[in-house]
Every structure is written in structure tokens, then in C-alpha cells.
Amino acid sequence: AALILLIGGGLLRMKLGAVPLTWGELYQIITGGDTSKIGQIIMTIRLPRVVVGFLAGMNLALAGVILQGILRNPLA
């Protein structure tokens, strides 16, 4: 369930922006069928931003787990 929410949130974040897209346009851009300006914006700005956000969240969670293990405090 969490993975579905994660993927859905990422797709929604790529869809919304200064230039809103339809789901069909987003699918076309992600599958590589569109090389227009908005396609370049998605692939060079929005998609990397979503990926970096996911990675930052995973690293923060990992840091919390490590901190709890080092301090032996489940509330840390």
C-alpha cells in the first residue's frame, strides 16, 4: 500500500506544476514518446526533483534507524 502511495504521489507531483498536464500526456512523456518543450521540462526538472525527494526521504529514515540503534532508544 505504501509503495502505491509513493508512486502515485510521484506521478501526481510530476503532473502538477506551472504547466498542468493530462494523465495521457504524462504517460507519453515518461514512455519517451514526446520530445516537446514540456517533455524536456518533465525529464530535466520535475522527474529529477521527485527522485531526489524520494532519496532524501529514504536517507532521513535510515538516519533515524541508525540513531535509534546507536542510542538504544526506540523513541530517539
Percent of the residues in the chain that have a pLDDT greater than 90, as a whole number: 58
Least confident range of 3-7, 15-19, 45-49, 66-70: 15-19
Summarised one tens digit per residue, pLDDT across range 32-64 is: 877 788 888 888 999 999 999 999 999 999 999
Summarised one tens digit per residue, pLDDT across range 13-36 is: 999 988 888 899 999 988 887 778
- Residues in contact with 54: Cβ distance below 8 Å, sequence separation at least 6, in sequence order: 6, 10
Residues 54, 14 contacting (CB under 8 angstroms): no
> Hey, where are the domains in the chain?
2-71
Least confident range of 5-9, 38-42, 65-69: 38-42
pLDDT of residue 76: 67
CA distance 53 to 57: 6
